[in-house]
Protein backbone atom coordinates (compact mmCIF):
# COMPACT_ATOMS: atom_id res chain seq x y z
CA UNK A 1 0.00 0.00 0.00
CA UNK A 2 1.45 3.44 -0.91
CA UNK A 3 2.63 5.58 1.98
CA UNK A 4 0.00 8.28 1.42
CA UNK A 5 -2.74 5.64 1.46
CA UNK A 6 -1.34 4.19 4.67
CA UNK A 7 -1.25 7.63 6.26
CA UNK A 8 -4.85 8.28 5.27
CA UNK A 9 -5.96 4.90 6.63
CA UNK A 10 -4.19 5.62 9.93
CA UNK A 11 -5.95 8.99 10.22
CA UNK A 12 -9.32 7.41 9.48
CA UNK A 13 -8.76 4.61 11.98
CA UNK A 14 -7.97 7.19 14.68
CA UNK A 15 -11.39 8.84 14.30
CA UNK A 16 -14.49 8.03 16.34
CA UNK A 17 -17.01 5.64 14.73
CA UNK A 18 -19.52 8.38 13.83
CA UNK A 19 -16.88 10.30 11.89
CA UNK A 20 -15.78 7.13 10.13
CA UNK A 21 -19.40 6.70 9.06
CA UNK A 22 -19.35 10.26 7.65
CA UNK A 23 -16.20 9.47 5.69
CA UNK A 24 -17.82 6.32 4.33
CA UNK A 25 -20.86 8.35 3.26
CA UNK A 26 -18.58 10.87 1.54
CA UNK A 27 -16.67 8.14 -0.29
CA UNK A 28 -19.99 6.66 -1.45
CA UNK A 29 -21.08 10.11 -2.63
CA UNK A 30 -17.86 10.67 -4.59
CA UNK A 31 -18.15 7.22 -6.17
CA UNK A 32 -21.79 7.78 -7.15
CA UNK A 33 -21.02 11.24 -8.55
CA UNK A 34 -18.24 9.78 -10.65
CA UNK A 35 -20.52 7.03 -11.96
CA UNK A 36 -23.25 9.60 -12.72
CA UNK A 37 -20.81 11.73 -14.70
CA UNK A 38 -19.64 8.70 -16.66
CA UNK A 39 -23.25 7.84 -17.47
CA UNK A 40 -23.93 11.39 -18.69
CA UNK A 41 -20.82 11.29 -20.90
CA UNK A 42 -21.89 7.93 -22.33
CA UNK A 43 -25.41 9.22 -23.01
CA UNK A 44 -24.05 12.33 -24.67
CA UNK A 45 -21.75 10.28 -26.88
CA UNK A 46 -24.53 7.86 -27.79
CA UNK A 47 -26.94 10.65 -28.75
CA UNK A 48 -24.45 12.78 -30.70
CA UNK A 49 -24.99 11.02 -34.06
CA UNK A 50 -28.76 11.47 -33.81
CA UNK A 51 -28.47 15.13 -32.91
CA UNK A 52 -25.88 15.70 -35.63
CA UNK A 53 -28.47 14.82 -38.26
CA UNK A 54 -30.85 17.40 -36.79
CA UNK A 55 -28.30 20.12 -36.09
CA UNK A 56 -26.29 19.81 -39.29
CA UNK A 57 -28.56 20.99 -42.07
CA UNK A 58 -28.33 23.69 -44.73
CA UNK A 59 -31.22 25.71 -43.28
CA UNK A 60 -29.33 26.24 -40.04
CA UNK A 61 -25.90 26.98 -41.55
CA UNK A 62 -26.52 30.71 -41.09
CA UNK A 63 -26.47 30.18 -37.30
CA UNK A 64 -23.02 28.57 -37.43
CA UNK A 65 -21.54 32.01 -38.21
CA UNK A 66 -22.94 33.63 -35.05
Query: What is the pLDDT, as a whole number, of residue 65?
Result: 78
Domain extent, residue 57, equals 17-64
Q: What distances in angstroms separate CA 61 from CA 11, 49, 50, 57, 66, one per listed residue?
A: 58, 18, 18, 7, 10
Domain membership of residue 9 (yes or no) is: no
Domain membership of residue 1 (yes or no) is: no
Domain membership of residue 28 (yes or no) is: yes
Number of helical H runs and strand E runs in the chain: 3, 0
Give 32-65 pLDDT, tens digit per residue. 999 999 999 999 999 998 888 787 778 878 887 7
Domain membership of residue 35 (yes or no) is: yes
Query: What is the pLDDT, as a whole number, of residue 44?
Result: 92
Phi-psi region of 37 (alpha: psi -120 to 50; beta: other; left: phi over 0): alpha
Query: What is the pLDDT, as a whole number, of residue 20?
Result: 96
pTM of the entire predicted model:
0.56
Query: What is the pLDDT, as a whole number, of residue 66?
Result: 79
Query: What is the pLDDT, as a whole number, of residue 64?
Result: 78
**Number of domains into which the chain is organized:** 1
Is 12 within 8 Å of 23 (Cβ atoms)? yes
Domain membership of residue 2 (yes or no) is: no
Amino acid sequence: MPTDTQALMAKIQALPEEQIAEIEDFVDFVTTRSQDRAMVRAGTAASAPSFARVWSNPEDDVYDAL
